[in-house]
Amino acid sequence: MSTTYLEAIREGLWEEMERDPNVFCIGEDIGEYGGAFKVTAGLLERFGARRVVDTPISEAAIVGASIGAGLMGLRPVAEMQFADFITCGFDQIVNFAAKCRYRWNAGVPIVIRSPSGGGIHGGPFHSQNPEMWFVRTPGLKVVCPATAYDAKGLIKSAIRDNDPVLFFEHKALYRKIKEDLPSEEYTVPIGKAKVVREGRDLSIITYGAMVWTALEAAERLAEEGCSAEVVDLRTLMPLDRDTVCASVRKTSKALLLHEDTRTGGMAGELAATITENVFEYLDGPIVRVTAPDTPVPYSPPLEEAFLPNAEKVIEKARWLHRY
């Protein structure tokens, strides 16, 4: 039976709550309503209000209370209704949670789940990709799954991790992608990228919903005789530099792709990683395909122009291939 990305996350939560009585969920409208996107639907009925805690509209309290509960040995999984509102709990995340272990050796085993990303006509406040605010905060782990398999395996690993994990769920994938998941239990390790398509001529390195864009582009590029490899980072922090560098060593060309805006985006860090480690293998400049440095616009033609898509990837890939 095939499982959607959304159901995969729910299954992961469910299994971890069955496995460990210290795991509980906390957030706005997550109980009876099952969450704005219905990820937590059914959890209240199964696990009760003690373990599925509905909160007031108070993101700082959701994160802060998660930290407190985490310090006491519980394993909270907090939900932000939209990733955009994570700003309201920002201080708790980047100053409190992120720095506890380094400062006073206190582990904060919390997961913060946030639906992020555009392509749903959500406008500037329901479409953002805020992962880099956290990637550049030492002490936090940042996970951005692209597939149902990884979403389930990574949410389970995130819950078991003893450090704070930001778990970004691309909302455009929730019901769009499906796959058959193994019936036996599995986890996916945090910090490991994956080559999701083998290729010879260039590497498209990406994560999140853009993995699907990269695969679509690679398929079409193959018809033109350009063999593109696609690397899905899966975790942005800690970054699997080895897999990135191995791919570039093999193809000698790198196209870095993300839905997040350009300046200060993941591509910059990847470009530096590649030049530091495998510069002598490069046969062409590193190229980026990203959203431009603007807020996410609402009107369809503007949002379409804003978001990277297969066309834009193919155009850059062709140029790089010929280089």
Partner 1 sequence: MSTVHASGAEIHNAAPAAGTPEAELAHKCLHYMLLMREVEDRIERKLYRQGKVLGGVYVGRGQEAIPVGSALVAQADDVLFPTHRDMAVFFIRGVSARRVLAQYMGRVDGVTRGRDGNMHMGDMSAGVVSLISALAATVPVAAGVALAMRYKGINGVAFSYFGDGSTSRGDWHEGVNFASVQKLPVVYICNNNQYAYSTPLNLQMACANVADRGPAYNMPAEIVDGNDVLAVHEATVRAAAYARSGNGPYLLECKTFRMTGHSAHDAAHYVPQGLFEEWGKLDPIVRLEKRMLDERWAAQVELDEVHASIARVVDDAVAWAEQSPYPDAATLLDGVYESQ
Q: Catalytic site residues?
A: 126
Residue 41 binds ligand TPP (CB under 6 A): no
DSSP characters for 270-320? HHHHHHHHHGGG-SS--EEEEE-SS----SHHHHHHHS--HHHHHHHHHHH
- The residue among 48 and 295 lying less far from partner 1, judged by its C-beta, is 295
Contact 87, 119 (CB under 8 A): no
CB of 86 to ligand TPP, least distance (A): 9
CB of 277 to ligand TPP, least distance (A): 41
CA 182 from chain centre, in angstroms, equals 22
Please tell me the distance from the alpha carbon of residue 302 to that of residue 119, in angstroms, as a whole number: 11
Stretch of 9-17, 116-124, 171-179, 212-220 lying at the interface with partner 1 (CB under 8 A): 116-124
Residue 174 binds ligand TPP (CB under 6 A): no
Q: Residue 201 binds what, of partner 1, ligand TPP, none (CB under 5 to 8 Å, by partner type)?
A: none
Longest dimension (CA), the chain: 60
Q: State whether residue 3 is helix, strand or coil.
A: strand
- The residue among 88 and 305 lying less far from ligand TPP, judged by its C-beta, is 88
CA atoms within 13 A on the CB side of 262: 11
- The residue among 41 and 88 lying less far from ligand TPP, judged by its C-beta, is 88
Please tell me the distance from the alpha carbon of residue 87 to that of residue 84, in angstroms, as a whole number: 7
Q: What residues pair up with 37 in beta bridges, in sequence order?
A: none
- The residue among 182 and 300 lying less far from partner 1, judged by its C-beta, is 300
Other residues' Cβ atoms within 10 Å of the Cβ of residue 162: 12
Among 59, 161, 259, 269, indicate the residue that binds ligand TPP (CB under 6 A). 59
Q: Residue 71 binds what, of partner 1, ligand TPP, none (CB under 5 to 8 Å, by partner type)?
A: none
* Tokens, residue 77: 């999984």
Among 61, 88, 222, 246, indicate the residue that binds ligand TPP (CB under 6 A). 88
Among 306, 308, 314, 321, indicate the residue that binds partner 1 (CB under 8 A). 306
Binding site for ligand TPP (CB under 6 A): 28, 57, 59, 81, 85, 88
Binding site for partner 1 (CB under 8 A): 28-29, 32-33, 36, 54-61, 81-82, 84-85, 87-88, 120-126, 292-295, 297-302, 304-306
